[in-house]
């Protein structure tokens, strides 16, 4: 089963994707994670995208489609793929459709996670991530455990994303509304779209997603 998690920054796509990885043996394909990894390892592409990402703008379709193509054509995923943060433009959505049909794969569901904008700002500015395993924490709703150890892997180092500040979040939200939200209509028209309320507790949202996927 291949699915897309669609929603603005801070909607909880990454958190829910990680649960699906654990519970269903699916593979998470996050273009944001891939781009951050390219920056950390200092590749040419990582250098090109750094400023764009810090500003909160979208990197080019060509780059992200290339990353996804590489993953889909080299790796296998028994439980299927979760596309997290991809596609973000109509051109990316078309490219994904073409790529999946080239590989004789299907797109089985597009789950839109809807959350109010003021909640997104509060969530994102309070977000931190375990440097070892990527578990996501939130100062208010899911703080790092009192012993300072990640509940998933025991790691003790936590980082905040360079683009998780109010300025770049405004740009990311604008990019979402201008370039990504048209995908809601696109997938609705294709009959693939289901919306879930991303405002609930993590377990509640997970249960809603489970009801969609069966």
Shortest distance, position 97 Cβ to ligand AMP, whole Å: 15
- Member of 11, 20, 59, 95 binding ligand AMP (CB under 6 A): 59
The CA–CA distances, whole Å, from 179 to 57, 101, 162, 176 equal: 10, 24, 22, 6
Q: Which of residues 67-86 bind ligand AMP (CB under 6 A)?
A: 85-86
Q: Which is nearer to ligand AMP, 66 or 145 (CB)?
A: 66
Q: How far is the CB of 208 from ligand AMP (least distance, A)?
A: 21
- Judged by CB under 6 A, which stretch of 52-60, 103-111, 126-134, 181-189 contacts ligand AMP? 52-60
Is residue 172 close enough to count as binding ligand AMP by CB under 6 A? yes
Instruction: Select 86 or 187, whichever has its Cβ closest to ligand AMP.
Output: 86
C-beta of 174 vs 211, nearer to ligand AMP? 174
The residue number with the shortest CB distance to ligand AMP is: 32
Residue 163's closest CA among 53, 84, 57? 53
CB of 147 to ligand AMP, least distance (A): 28
Q: Which is nearer to ligand AMP, 149 or 160 (CB)?
A: 160
How far, in Å, CA of 129 to CA of 137, rounded? 6
Determine the Cα–Cα distance for residues 191 and 112; give it in Å rounded to an integer: 13
| Cβ 84 to ligand AMP shortest distance, Å | 7
Q: Per CB under 6 A, does 123 bind ligand AMP?
A: no
Q: Which residues carry out catalysis?
A: 13, 88, 127, 161, 172
């Amino acid at each position: 089963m291949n699915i897309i998690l669609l929603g603005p920054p801070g909607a909880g796509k990454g958190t829910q994707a990680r649960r699906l990885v654990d519970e269903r043996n699916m593979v998470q394909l996050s273009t944001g994670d891939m781009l951050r990894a390219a920056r950390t390892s200092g590749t040419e592409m990582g250098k090109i995208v750094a400023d764009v990402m810090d500003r909160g703008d979208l990197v080019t379709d060509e780059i992200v489609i290339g990353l996804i193509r590489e993953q889909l054509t080299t790796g296998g995923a028994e439980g299927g793929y979760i596309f997290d943060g991809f596609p973000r433009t109509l051109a990316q959505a078309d490219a994904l459709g073409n790529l999946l049909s080239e590989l004789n794969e299907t797109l089985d569901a597009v789950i839109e996670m809807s959350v109010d904008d003021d909640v997104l700002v509060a969530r994102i500015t309070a977000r931190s991530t375990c440097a070892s395993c990527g578990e996501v924490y939130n100062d208010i709703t899911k703080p790092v455990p009192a012993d300072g150890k990640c509940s998933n892997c025991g790691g003790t180092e936590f980082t905040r994303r360079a683009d998780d500040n109010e300025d770049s979040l405004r740009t990311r939200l604008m990019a979402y509304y201008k370039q990504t939200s048209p995908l809601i209509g696109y997938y609705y028209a294709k009959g693939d779209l289901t919306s879930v309320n991303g405002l609930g507790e993590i377990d509640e949202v997970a249960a809603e997603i489970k009801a969609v996927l069966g």
